[in-house]
Amino acid sequence: MKKIPLSNSTIKIGLILILILLFLIPVSLIKNLISDRNHYQREALQSITEPLGGETQLQGLVIAVPYKTYKETYSSNGSRLVQAETKYILFAPDTYTMDISVNPYYLTRGIFKVPVFNGQIQLKAEFGDFDFSYFNIPDTDIMKKDAVLILGLSNTKNLTKQPALIINNKDLHVSPIKYDSISPFKTSVYYPVTLDDQKGKCLLSGTIDFQGGENIKIYPIAQENVFNMKSDWKSPSFSGGWLPKERELSDNGFSASWDIAGLSTVYPKSWLAGTQFVAEAVNVSFMIPVDSYKKTERSVKYALLFLMIPFIALLISEIFSKTKIHPIQYCLIGFADVIFYLLLLSSSEHISFDLAYLICSVSVCLATLLYASAIFRNKKWGALLSGVQLVSYIFLYGTLQAEDYALLIGSIGLFIVVALLMFITRKIDWYGLTENLDGTIL
């Protein structure tokens, strides 16, 4: 079998490719480390917000009115029995207005700083006539005196004091009995309400003092929903089923208002208890807007490209300078590029990502400048290699900032690199590279 001769240059290029692939192992370990640190941050956040009730959810309020139903059965001796059972009809408000003031502040756990908040809600709701005609229930079977107001929350830990609610100028008191089987909400507070003496509209008002962390979710449940929120938090994030109709952001905080029609929600005017709805909510996030872990994770995705570029630049410098570079020296340059991501991860936990990126990139470029100048015994080649790295880091930073155009920028950048390599190496005689100053490139 005829052997195919391999030139020293071919072996050298193959060895460089193997080194690049081997460097993917520490890159993978750094990816796992980023995931672990992100998970640790989430644990720290949860340990702070859980005693406060987590995110605050205001799931709405309804009035449940009981009525009697009758079921005929027969005993073993054939006698006719009539059993009475109590069921409920739930009525949503006609109008539902909340004025919400939020006061955020920071709590820390280790190196992590988590924004939490407390605040107060000024609540107003109006219930119209309670129409039972759609359910074909006789008036004699309706028990208006045993009605219950249900206030829906995600967690009673979100309450810093008992809600002060008034209905038609009468104070409401929390019921000692829970009606969880009829509540449409995750967690509820119940108030007995007597509707026998309510003529026409039923007016509800009051204040709710709350606390929480991360997010506030508000569920529109009425035929007309108006929510107003203000806070001194400078960078809120609005999401969910509805965006603010009006918003104002400034250095002093923000204010926002929502006006949501009942037809755009899943709730009807009234329904039988036991029916569950999957409802959308207005969501306001108070999280820190800059996520260093996400940006670091995105930067590591380009690690393979940023290992190839310095190695190719080092190989081309070796060819043109006719200086032998040992594989160990290639490894040290590669380790500097890998350590960049580790430095970026650790330093961005303590300072801003932009400043951490600047410090880490300049440090690695400076180390490359000094080391390459020493091994080539010429500052020109050291400046060239560190300049290539610096341009690469600037390109990567621009890609991280333009998240929506990252793929386009990355593709264009890769094409430019390939085009430059084609131009620079267009006159190189690759078969003649075995003959160097000492007769070999290795």
Domains in the chain, CATH or no CATH each: 8-42+293-434 (no CATH), 56-289 (2.60.40)
- The model's pTM is 0.72
**Which position has the higher pLDDT, 63 or 115?**
63
* pLDDT at 3 > cutoff 50: no
**Which position has the higher pLDDT, 144 or 81?**
144
Helix (H/G/I), strand (E/B), else coil: 329: helix
For the chain, what percent of residues have pLDDT higher than 70? Answer: 86
pLDDT at residue number 4: 41
pLDDT at residue number 106: 87
Residues 6+ apart with CB under 8 A from 219: 57, 58, 59, 60, 152, 279, 280, 281, 282
Tokens of 381: 């080649």
Which candidate, 154, 180, 146, 160, places its Cα nearest to that of 68?
146
Q: How would residue 2 be classed by pLDDT, with cut points 50, 70 and 90?
A: very low
Instruction: Check: CB of residue 311 under 8 Å from CB of residue 421.
Output: no
Cβ atoms within 10 Å, residue 412: 12
* pLDDT at 422 > cutoff 60: yes
In the block, tokens 């008002």 appear at 205
pLDDT at residue number 424: 67
pLDDT at residue number 150: 93
Question: pLDDT tens, 181-223?
Answer: 899 998 899 999 988 655 567 899 999 999 998 889 999 999 9
In the block, tokens 């026409």 appear at 200
**Edge-to-edge order in the sheet of strand 170-171:** 170-171, 164-167, 202-213, 112-127, 95-109, 224-231, 253-261, 246-250
Instruction: Check: CB of residue 240 under 8 Å from CB of residue 225.
Output: no
pLDDT at residue number 139: 81
